[in-house]
Structure 1
Amino acid sequence: MRSAVVLSYSVPFRLVHWLMAALILFNLLFAEDMATLWRVVRDGGTPSADQVSAANIHAYVGIAVLCLAVVRILLRLTQGAPEAPAEEPPLFRTAAKVAHAAFYLLFFALPLSGMAAYYLGIGGAALPHGGPLKLAMWVLIAVHVGALFVHQFRWKTTVAQRMTKG
């Protein structure tokens, strides 16, 4: 059951948030291993055991992100989320809602497109996965961090503490 006013994110929600952040960042930074494997296979070569292992790690991390996204949605539905701070202008509240919805969409679109390409051999899924979806995630992360700095140093809100200290 949801409480009327949620002041902070729960400990499980915060753990899922930071674990997802670490896993997503890992996969964004080390995506080249998957691309290398695809190039070797496309060119008719035989990938090395290290190349296959690296690609598998990328895939498993993506699957973990997908599973955690489901948990995250369940936590949000059952525990709620804090309201936007009063100091946040209405336009920025709307932008935050759009950005968070985009994050949730990418939490599913990136792993599912990657799985379609890697496990089902749907080559057409690899292009959006490694191109526009990956870029969109990088942009959202930059905007998310930028918004955090605006909250912390411009509006002087406690938004950062809701996801760190509780």
Structure 2
Amino acid sequence: MALSFTVPQRILHWLMAALILFNLIFSDAMETAGRLMFRGQTLTPEQVSAANIHAYVGIGVLVLALIRLCLRFMQGVPPEPIQEPPFLRVVARISHWAFYALFFAMPLAGIGAWYFGNTTAAFVHSGPMKLLMWVLIVAHIGGALVHQFYWKTDVLKRMTSG
């Protein structure tokens, strides 16, 4: 079993983090375009272009998630640190797989909303899934900081410098 994540795994982690945060923070253009689209109003070319950036970034996340999942199965992941209590190891595993579920479900729901006009997909994408993604991100960062400063493990190093 690997002691650290591989370089491709680390690159994908940080690239996906940047793309996901970009789409979470800069979602106004897509939200405006979606509102207009679902009201039957015509979008300007600028509004379509701005919304497409959000869509293309989301599709990028979907593609990278597929590659990342394949690497996870082929290359494995480092073991959980022994300092982490068993219950929190289970919580961490569930959280990581919830991330993977969202890496696929959010872009697919976004595709359903933007390209197929599905209002349910739009609601789920911009409501519960978005909220869950934020909760997982905050918990993930919090967990990494607890590992670094409380349990003094190498978790951050395994995802940065190896």
Alignment of 1:8-23 (within 5 A): 8-23=4-19
Indicate the residue corresponding to 2:141 in structure 1: 145
CA distance in structure 2 between the partners assigned to 1:92 and 1:41 by the alignment: 43
| Higher mean C-alpha displacement, 36-45 vs 153-162 | 36-45
Q: Is the 8 A contact 2:38 2:117 kept in 1?
A: no
- Compute the displacement of 1:48 (Å): 1.9
Structure 1 residue runs without a partner (length 5+): none
Give the C-alpha shift of residue 43 in structure 1: 3.7
Helix, strand or coil: the match of 2:29?
A: helix
Q: Distance in 2 between matches of 1:143 and 1:67?
A: 24
1:45 Cα shift? 3.0
Equivalent AA in structure 1 for residue 35 of structure 2: R
Please give the alpha-carbon distance, in whole angstroms, between the structure 2 residues aligned to 1:160 and 1:44: 47
Q: Secondary structure at the match of 2:112?
A: helix
Distance in 2 separating the partners of 1:128 and 1:54: 21
From 6, 29, 33, the counterpart of 2:25:
29
Separation (CA, whole Å) in 1 of partners of 2:48 and 2:36: 10
* Backbone CA RMSD of aligned residues: 0.9
Aligned to 1:38: 34
Which region of structure 1 is more displaced relative to structure 2, 132-141 or 23-32? 23-32
Could you tell me which amino acid in structure 2 is paired with residue 144 of structure 1? H
Look up the SS of the partner of 1:64 in the other structure.
helix
Contact 2:55 2:110 survives alignment (8 Å): yes
Task: Specify the alignment match of 2:152 in structure 1.
Answer: 156
Structure 2 residue runs without a partner (length 5+): none
How far 1:15 moved relative to its partner? Answer: 0.5
1:73 paired residue number: 69
Which residue of 2 is the match for residue 97 of structure 1? 93
Q: Distance in 2 between matches of 1:128 and 1:23?
A: 20
2:100 partner amino acid: Y
Question: What is the TM-score of this pair, normalised by structure 1?
Answer: 0.95
Give yes or no for the alignment of 1:114 onto 2:110: yes
> Whole-Å Cα distance in 1 between the matches of residues 34 and 107 of structure 2?
17
Q: Distance in 1 between matches of 2:69 and 2:37?
A: 36
Indicate if the aligned counterparts of 2:23 and 2:58 stay in contact, CA closer than 8 A: yes
Q: How far apart, in 2, do the equivalents of 1:27 and 1:71 lie?
A: 20
Q: Any idea what SS the aligned residue of 1:131 has?
A: helix
